Amino acid sequence: MSRFDGRVAIVTGAASGIGKEIALRFAAEGGIPVIADLNLDAATATASEIKSKGGDAFAVAMNVADEEMVEKVVGEVIAKFGKIDVLVSNAGIQIVKPLVDFPFADWRKLLSIHLDGAFLTTRACLRHMYAANYGRVIYMGSVHSKEASKLKAPYVTAKHGLIGLAKVVAKEGAEHNVTANVVCPGFVRTPLVDKQIPEQARELGLSEEQVVKTVMLKDTVDGEFTSADDVADAVLYFAAARSNGMTGQSLVVSHGWFME
Ligand code: NAD
């Protein structure tokens, strides 16, 4: 008997990076991840990889910031599986620029994916979780849910906001046996971070190696990136919660970069 036998989890942004690792790990423990991503080809490839390892998975195209699409996909998942046990609201992007130069359109784009996306997927899933009297909601925060960095105004704002949303879901969901948590990773070497290294180097006048050593990993205890596996451990811990004991809490997974 595995921890997630028969459980169904919608994992947004699971075609790549951290979300993909969460989906692989959830499937490896008997669960069925719904790989919901803007990039359907990559989502389908992730689902195929899971199936080739003997697991089960379902790939769907979803733009988390599109209300109609979120409602449609959640309806499809219910029609196919009859329930949603877990939501991992993970899809996200990064845009780095000094605040004084930040285009309003980029600010809105980032907030809509991180915050509108978290709200829309949560609302759509909660209705079914309440009906089933069970649900586990996990938001992908960041050390930037607790701490700020230069050049990341909308990202830091959005990631702080997710902590507030999780606390509300924890309070409103409690009577329906629905818990909510935030996992807050340090830097994980995914396409999202690979893209930032040259951008930050340009903005800060540093070499790429200096960005990694003196900006990204400077305060870790071991000079190491956080791994997607480290993050998946924490997400699956909350996904397997047996009670409200930890609900509303956020957990930092950052190799000691940020300690509470
Ligand atoms: P990634 O770029 O590897 O993967 C992000 C995925 O989200 C991609 O598959 C992309 O297609 C998808 N996506 C983007 N916009 C979407 C949308 N509107 N609707 C649906 N899917 C969409 O990035 P990652 O590093 O794995 O990041 C995943 C999450 O982890 C993000 O929320 C990010 O902010 C957070 N995070 C990442 C790091 C890090 O260092 N990589 C650290 C802390 C938090």
Pocket test for ligand 1, best of 10, 11, 16 (most atoms within 8 A of CB): 16
Cα 69 to chain center, whole Å? 18
Domains of the chain: 8-186+227-253 (3.40.50.720)
Contacts of 138 (CB under 8 A, 6+ apart): 86, 87, 88, 89, 180, 181, 182, 183, 235, 238, 239
Per-residue pLDDT of the chain (260 residues; tens, 9 = 90+): 799 999 999 999 999 999 999 999 999 999 999 999 999 999 999 999 999 999 999 999 999 999 999 999 999 999 999 999 999 999 999 999 999 999 999 999 999 999 999 999 999 999 999 999 999 999 999 999 999 999 999 999 999 999 999 999 999 999 999 999 999 999 999 999 999 999 989 989 999 999 999 999 999 999 999 999 999 999 999 999 999 999 999 999 999 999 99
Q: Is 254 in the pocket of ligand 1 (CB under 6 A)?
A: no
155 flagged as catalytic = yes
pTM score: 0.98
Q: How far is the CA of 43 from the centre of ligand 1 (A)?
A: 13
pLDDT of residue 1: 78
Q: Is 253 in the pocket of ligand 1 (CB under 6 A)?
A: no
Cα angle 232, 51, 184 (rounded to 5 degrees) comes to 15
The residues that bridge with 32 in the sheet, in sequence order, are 8
